[in-house]
Amino acid sequence: MRIVSLFSGCGGLDYGFEKAGYDVVWANEIDKTISSTYQLNHKQTHLVTRDIRTLLNSDIPFCDGIIGGPPCQSWSEGGKGLGLNDDRGRLFLEYIRVVEDKKPKFFLIENVKGLLNDKHSSAFSMFLQRLSNAGYEVTYALVNCANYKIPQDRYRVFIVGINSCYSQHYLFPNPIDSAKVTLKQAIGDILTEPTKYINEVVTENKNFINHDVYAGPFDAKFMARNRVRGWNETSFTIQAQAKNEPLHPQAPKMIYKSQNKRIFAKGFEHLYRRLSIRECARIQSFPDSFIFHYTNIADGYKMVGNAVPPRMAFFLAEQLKLILKRL
């Protein structure tokens, strides 16, 4: 099954589809700080690093499926929420343009839950209508990845379309009934201390690759709420900004002082540090064999935090196979 990947990032979505037996033959990622990581881990995929807006339909090969996550900043609840009034928001239309031209058997889109906010309802309805008009049975769902053996609360919107000529609807996989994966299970075996960085050029960690941590200050916004989850809990959402990453579970929960102020527990201040890039990757369900390439600590966190958890991608891809084998 030949797959085209758009807005590929470091390739978390692609990795999950590959593990489910799909062949990602072509990918597009413009960010040069990320594309080298994609190439390192997806050596068999033809990667194009041009701006998607400059790509002709003829530049993109025939495929059975299209997957990808258009930029989320314009739809994020943590941003300005400019939607289609932002160049990044309009890139969603480039994804739709490729689907309309290639007319694959299926497509899958990932984005943040802010896409479902009332302020974006007209844009979201327009996206769905264009995809439907292109000839697809379209379904979408807001999914918490923690329900699929991912050790973090991570709510994301997935939109899946099946070509209408097959008269099939996509049914999202049922949540897995077994207990959620904890931080202890995900990162409890990492006993070495990470290498600390603020603005320095990152060098390869010889002891444990990508076990690097941002050691910059904690601002007032960060200290406004507790950022620690315990060993027997799932993590907070892994973020794309280094300064906003959750804290390591070795530390006690932060102490309430007032509505918008928390402090570190006295006598335990030395235990408070952010999760390292490798720890974030583990929580995102990347295997340790997946190597992230960066020279700036912020770029490492960005590519991990923006990725679709490969395990989530795998479950979605396996569910698609149940439909595709009937086609």
230 in a domain, yes or no?
A: no
Q: How many domains in the chain?
A: 1
How much helix, strand and coil, in percent to the nearest 5, is found in the chain?
A: 35, 20, 45
Please give the pLDDT value at position 327.
72
Please give the pLDDT value at position 324.
87
Please give the pLDDT value at position 77.
82
Residue 326 has pLDDT above 80, yes or no: no
What digits encode the pLDDT tens for the residues 152-169? 999 999 999 999 999 999
Strand partners, 143: 156
Residue 78 has pLDDT above 80, yes or no: no
45 in a domain, yes or no?
A: yes
| Coil vs helix vs strand at 66 | strand
192 in a domain, yes or no?
A: no
Mean pLDDT throughout 210-227? 97
Please give the pLDDT value at position 28.
98
DSSP per position, 142-198: EEEGGGGT-SB--EEEEEEEEEGGG-----PPPPP-SPPPPHHHHHTT--SPPEEES
Band the pLDDT of 194: cuts 50, 70, 90: very high
290 in a domain, yes or no?
A: no
What digits encode the pLDDT tens for the residues 62-74? 999 999 999 999 9
Residue 206 has pLDDT above 90, yes or no: no
Please give the pLDDT value at position 100.
98
What digits encode the pLDDT tens for the residues 86-98? 999 999 999 999 9
What digits encode the pLDDT tens for the residues 271-312? 999 999 999 999 999 999 999 999 999 999 999 999 999 999
Q: What token pair was written down for 157?
A: 């919107």
Contact 154, 145 (CB under 8 A): yes
**Measured CA distances, 250 to 75, 245, 269, 270, 283 (Å):** 33, 15, 11, 10, 15
What digits encode the pLDDT tens for the residues 30-41? 999 999 999 999
- Radius of gyration, alpha carbons of the chain: 20
Q: Among 3-17, 64-78, 147-161, where is mean pLDDT lowest?
A: 64-78
Please give the pLDDT value at position 312.
98
Residue 202 has pLDDT above 90, yes or no: yes
What percentage of the chain reaches a pLDDT higher than 90? 93
Please give the pLDDT value at position 325.
83
Residue 79 has pLDDT above 90, yes or no: no
- Whether 72 is catalytic is yes
Residue 159 belongs to a domain with what CATH number? 3.40.50.150
207 in a domain, yes or no?
A: no
Band the pLDDT of 265: cuts 50, 70, 90: very high
36 in a domain, yes or no?
A: yes
Residue 62's domain comprises: 2-176+309-324
261 in a domain, yes or no?
A: no
Catalytic residue among 10, 72, 145, 280: 72
288 in a domain, yes or no?
A: no
Please give the pLDDT value at position 157.
98
Query: Rounded mean pLDDT of the chain?
Result: 96
